[in-house]
Structure 1
Amino acid sequence: MREYSAAAKKFYNSKAWRKTRDAYIGSIDYMCERCGDAGYIVHHIEHIDNNNINDVNVTLNWDNLEYLCLDCHNTEHFATHSNVVEGVSFNQYGELVPISKTKNDK
């Protein structure tokens, strides 16, 4: 888990983030800005870390946001990190979590 996860969770649960996120998603018609599929998560282009978690120019600035589907979001993160692990994905907090298998995958 990331060092700033407690601060990130607090931010992602804040009224300011929820309001910004919802308005931003509505402004781009709920579609992934890269591939046009249904969107899933608002991505911070400049990633949030301990140094900028309280900087609204990074966290709440629409110029730093991008609405992505799960595949595009995972590609963004896996493409920028050399340690790719199969069977995991990022959740809405940016944490790695196991990918659930569907009945058809078993």
Structure 2
Amino acid sequence: MAKAWAKRFYNSKAWRECRTAYIDSVHGLCERCGEAGFIVHHTVYLTPDNINDPAISLNHDLLEYVCQEHHNEEHHGSHEPITAQGTQFDAEGNLILVGRGFERK
């Protein structure tokens, strides 16, 4: 989920067009394993100081399309993010309850 200071950027027409063009350029495949991609990853992490610099935030040379597994590895250091018992993240990054009495979304 985008941080509050990044929401405007990720909802912008410029980002949506850049993201779509980038995914098309790599044929929708994870650039690390060749499986179906999931998210366009900024190889230079965006910050409040650089997010409005298109040379960083919209630069195809600084993007990578990755699957969920590789995105989790990048941001969480493992295949699965660590969560409290009985919870997990869904495909959109929302924390959901799982297990006894709860169904997976």
Give TM class, smaller chain.
Answer: 0.7 to 0.9
1:44 to 42, 49, 70: 42
Give, as a single letter, the amino acid of the residue that structure 2 aligns with 1:98.
L
- Of structures 1 and 2, the one with the larger relative CO (CA 8 A, separation 6+) is 1
Please report the RMSD computed on the Cα atoms of aligned residues, expressed in angstroms. Answer: 2.9
Assess if the C-alpha contact under 8 Å between 1:74 and 1:89 holds in 2: no
Structure 1 residues 30, 98: closer, same or farther in 2, change over 3 A? same
Instruction: List structure 1 segments (4+ residues) > 4 angstroms apart after TM superposition.
Output: 99-105
Q: Deviations over 1:51-70 (max 9, x none)?
A: 11111111000011000011
1:98 to 92, 95, 98: 95
Assess if the C-alpha contact under 8 Å between 1:32 and 1:38 holds in 2: yes
Assess if the C-alpha contact under 8 Å between 1:44 and 1:66 holds in 2: yes
- TM-score of the superposition, structure 2-length normalised? 0.76
The structure with the greater share of residues assigned to helix is 1
> Is there any run of 5+ residues in structure 2 with no aligned partner, and where?
none
* CA distance in structure 2 between the aligned counterparts of 1:34 and 1:100, rounded to whole angstroms: 30
- The CA deviation at 1:88 is 3.6
> Is there any run of 5+ residues in structure 1 with no aligned partner, and where?
none
Aligned match of 1:10: 8
How many pairs are equivalent?
Answer: 96
Identity between Structure 1 and Structure 2 (%):
46
